[in-house]
Structure 1
Amino acid sequence: MRFASFDVFRTLGFPDTRHFKPDHLFRHQSELSAAEWILFPEYWQINALIYGMGCRVFPSQASYLLGHNKIEMTRAFQAVAPAHVPVTHIRANTPDNAEELWQEITHPFVAKLAKSSMGEGVWLIEERDQWREYLGRTNTLYVQEWLPIDRDVRVVIVGDQVLAAYWRLQSGFSFHNNVARGGSVDYSPVPAVVTDLALSVARKLGVDHAGFDIALVGDHPYLLEFNRLFGNQGIPGGGQRLREAILGYLERQSAQSDDPSRPPEPVAA
């Protein structure tokens, strides 16, 4: 068995792949340890697979850990590309912090929950009542400047390459650009400054399967977030092209690790 998968829908058509139910993780330890790659495990399985069973997982551990929490993701963005992160405030949700932020930040602004996807948990805050409603939903205040855009770019990274890049146009009934929230796809050319930023950040962070959402204000790109799991409806070639890209990347990674002439990876001090 070359691959073991915990997501049958994302690995349909993968050769030499056995599918397991996530809840059966500990029933198949020997088989999982023998597999060359574990594909699309659930987040709660990562530590057991990597540290307990010595497995290699795809997407990467960084894709899981950073993609699981937008606050941690934003802090990682600030570490590797600070000039490309919107002005961001992250504070404990206390009455004093809430009042200070309301007074200090330029209105309107964007408020987010740390764990959400498809445009859920993201609000444009314009009025006090909206702010109060947000305060009742979170323990951590996570707010960013509002960028004057009516579209953003989805850059799909698979392995070490940009698989696709396309515009997502804002829906007519909200400020969200997500296709799941009514946004639409536009295949007009995407500037290289956007795709170069996504690929650079992905490589620096070790993220190998992600849909990066990037806003372009004038000629300057801003990192909004990435999604470890993303839809393929906007990718030319759809699921087949995505599958081919994943398999090609895993084959290259396996060849590198099996090459005796390859120098060892540097060990961090």
Structure 2
Amino acid sequence: SAAGILQSRDKLRASQILARNRIPIPRTMNVRDVRDVEHAIEAVGGLPVVVKVTKGTQGQGVFLRHTAYEAKSLVQGLLHARRDVLIQEYVAESHGRDVRVIVVGDEVVAAMRRRARGREFRSNFHLNGTVESVDLPEEFADVARRAARVLGLNVAGVDLLEGNDGPMVLEVNSSPGLQGIEMASGVNVAGAIVDHAIREAGYGDVEIDGLLRMLPDEGVATLQVRRHPGLIGRTLKEVFHGEIETFAIARNSHMMWNPEPLTRLRFDDVVLCTGPRTSLRNSVRSAVERCSDPSDEHPLDPGPDEAEV
């Protein structure tokens, strides 16, 4: 859901929800004053600690600090820049590695282990980390499914640390990258996501073998026309102004691949768009806003089946 996406992108809010639902996470403290740093370090188990901002993706805004002085200096700078800051337990046994699990609906569709290179402790694929296939234990799969469920996400990339006492949720991503996990697992994750979106929209079986293979940093967004009355009857050209590539429309249990720009949208259509993952969601929202109808109570609410992946 839209609320789930917002919750997952705020690391503090997500941590609170996960902890409240007894899903294991590293000990975490929110720091609003540099004078609270030493107390926070003690509360999460001592040095070293992970310092992170509450909003950031692909490993950005995440730091490992080995002394209280280093942690204080970093926190002071982040607070001065008006960033919300977390101090988190460092799980030494999982240093430089984690397990990424893709959950679609209530099903685990793919998983991989990520490893950092050299002295880097962040294992993100975009930070030159390596990926490999993993035989996912059921305990890890169960934690991943529960994390996605309590955050209200139909599509989620759940990052798990391999702690001595079992899996711990490090982060839950509402728009996970696909290149690394498709490479490591051999699973067509994009196809699984599109298939789920179409099933949830009430369509029958459709052929999706023609689904485009994902390019680095590319994403897919699904848009249900029925949720946005202002789109009905408009052409793709009128809606997107040629700024977003529409590679398919799900209509009457069939897929219309590469629809013409002058194709008019119908009430039950599900539009599938592709573009740069970092900007695709905002581009789709802008297009919907331009065409919003006064009768559309939530013109910018993407709905439970509309997600960037």
Kindly state the Cα deviation for residue 235 of structure 1 after the two structures are TM-superposed.
2.8
1:174 alignment partner in structure 2: 120
Q: Take 1:245 and 1:103, find their aligned partners in 2: how far apart are those partners?
A: 43
Relative to the length of structure 2, the TM-score reads 0.58
Task: Judge which range, 150-159 or 128-137, deviates more.
Answer: 128-137
Kindly state the Cα deviation for residue 103 of structure 1 after the two structures are TM-superposed.
5.5
Mapping for residues 95-134 of structure 1, pairs under 5 Å: 95-102=34-41, 105-127=45-67, 128-134=69-75
Contact 2:58 2:126 in 1 (8 A): yes
Distance 1:100 1:63, change over 3 A: same
Relative to the length of structure 1, the TM-score reads 0.65
Kindly state the Cα deviation for residue 175 of structure 1 after the two structures are TM-superposed.
0.8
1:229 aligns to 2:175 (yes or no) = yes
Kindly state the Cα deviation for residue 253 of structure 1 after the two structures are TM-superposed.
1.8
The DSSP-based 3-state class of the residue aligned with 2:54 is: coil
1:69 alignment partner in structure 2: 10
The DSSP-based 3-state class of the residue aligned with 2:102 is: strand
| 4+ long deviations beyond 2 Å | 98-105, 138-141, 234-244
- For each residue in 1:112-134, what CA deviation from the matched residue of structure 2 results, as whole angstroms up to 9, or x when unmatched? 10111111101111131343123
Q: Take 1:162 and 1:62, find their aligned partners in 2: how far apart are those partners?
A: 22
How many corresponding residue pairs? 195
Kindly state the Cα deviation for residue 226 of structure 1 after the two structures are TM-superposed.
1.4
Distance 1:252 1:182, change over 3 A: same
For structure 1, the 5+ residue unaligned runs are 1-59, 257-269
Mapping for residues 1-269 of structure 1, pairs under 5 Å: 60-82=1-23, 84-92=24-32, 94-102=33-41, 105-127=45-67, 128-138=69-79, 139-148=83-92, 149-150=94-95, 151-236=97-182, 241-255=188-202
Structure with the higher helix share, 1 or 2:
1
For structure 2, the 5+ residue unaligned runs are 204-309
Q: Take 2:181 and 2:121, find their aligned partners in 1: how far apart are those partners?
A: 23
Kindly state the Cα deviation for residue 144 of structure 1 after the two structures are TM-superposed.
0.9
1:53 alignment partner in structure 2: none
Identity level (%): 30
Amino acid at match of 2:104: V
The DSSP-based 3-state class of the residue aligned with 1:97 is: helix
